[in-house]
Structure 1
């Protein structure tokens, strides 16, 4: 039948800068970048490779989710 859909199954990655790394933890892969520009580049590349979408949480953390 259908696949179970819940938030933990759909978060593919978490991306943040090294000064915000204390804000993230959990089971998804976490990518720590040097600055905001690198965070933008890394998040877009990961989203393209995984066919996911980037969501900015507004606190210096981005997540990649597959909808």
Structure 2
């Protein structure tokens, strides 16, 4: 029987270093293209769902 993490923010991806903080892993992108690429790659790796909070910030969660 395996253990899964649910209902938590698994990762934060942003282009704004000064606007985020907390206990989840934070990935910094240099531009919007890298932001989207990182978000969708991490979504697959973490088996979660990417949500765009604003144009400069995505979060990966598992429901």
Shorter-chain TM band = 0.7 to 0.9
Q: What is the aligned-residue RMSD (CA, Å)?
A: 1.6
Distance in 1 (CA, whole Å) between partners of 2:57 and 2:17 is 9
Q: Within the alignment, does 1:38 sit opposite 2:34 as a pair?
A: yes
**Higher fraction of strand:** 2
1:59 offset after TM fit, Å? 4.8
Q: Which runs of 4+ in 1 moved over 2 A?
A: none
Q: What per-residue deviation string (whole Å, max 9, x for no partner) do you get for residues 5-61 of structure 1? A: 65xxx10000001xx111000000000011010000001000001110000111511
- The structure with higher relative contact order (CA 8 Å, sep 6+) is 2
Residue of structure 1 aligned with 2:56, choices 45, 54, 60: 60
Taking structure 2 as the reference length, the TM-score comes to 0.85
Instruction: Show structure 1 runs of 5+ residues with no match.
Output: none
Taking structure 1 as the reference length, the TM-score comes to 0.80
Q: How many residues align?
A: 59
**Higher fraction of helix:** 1
